[in-house]
A and B are shown apart, each in its own frame.
Chain A
């Protein structure tokens, strides 16, 4: 049996092609690796690949709307280079710039990154900090699923065959926010994150965001740390305390894993340094 390729021109065509034997092709930088593995071990391949990268709705990028929308088919390269993304969501642009390599970024899409649901996905960490809600369509209609409900475990989502992620609605950060994305890897490109971190702060600390990836079953909003940031006086003390708390939560959730001797100090350091530099960018006097 050979796998058939279907290039969908619109959402309807995509949905028509998506059944039990089909896989969504949204760039393919994870999917093709997966299919190669199946082929080498003699396992069955999907009957259809439904290429959704040509569907206009999935390529919509509307950063300036009241309800900003990011199409699932937008490539990381586009996130890296788009002026509106850089203006509204610098952490998304920064994340886009460190995914894989240039060749991968030209193909890989944010929706594919989410659907693959790697615990270390750079795109997921970034989206989690922006409160992303996925817009999922199927023949039964449209659902809006918050990211934390969509991702139910390492490389596992709640999506079922026939579902298609169209895009993501994002929170609008408070005016004058500063954002940072940082990735630690074993080399400087084409690497799965050892840790990644997304931070968004505003001068009033009305809605601080902090997400840590590659440390938990899926990238995690550090809500207790966020509450701490919102309630205490910004400054070196607070950054240190936030780092310490993030590391503590890592141990609480994951236990003392073999990676802990590295990750505990690294998480604490990375969190406090990133908070410090993000805050510095806001230029708050005193």
Chain B
């Protein structure tokens, strides 16, 4: 159900009618700046600003946004904890021995690097979520065509995109039918039920594939998959704030980098 929600959020986003190119410039621009920044401050600022834009102007509910961030946050926290103990350099801040033969230390350099990783992941995740929550995949297909991705691959992607939802609905129906009859009630039963679900899904996908060919033949399929020939124009009203924001972020990055050089 989650991917349906994500797609629905993008469809209903307040930024839905902004040209996808403008949104890609913003997301990819901030992603690159976050990646190259040697200071955690730039990704932190980028993450907070884009989050506020998404929640306040983009009408993404804070709850959904929080749930979305929770996934990368948990994963990153685990990585950061390990990095804290693995990286070295600088002064030792904390040293302890959980068992006599293991010596764990946290150093100033490790804290610095871990913080940078944490905020980088935050800034980059928010940049990617910005695209996911404001631009439906259907808008990106056209852009892919312009970027010269082979039309056969785009056609396949469009069919796959359409069928994800059909097969997902079928999976949910089969799962409900199993749960109603006490499938998944015991561990062994769960394995058997899941295997059955996969088998049924394979068969129904096969039938859906045959129907797809029949449906395409019914409408004189001759190798053409039409593209969505309606795209919003690039508007200065949205492009200029994006460029200003990216310039500002880049300015902060430059200022911080210069300061780092001066101080070293």
Are A and B bound to each other?
no
- The interface of chain B, by Cβ under 8 A from chain A, is none
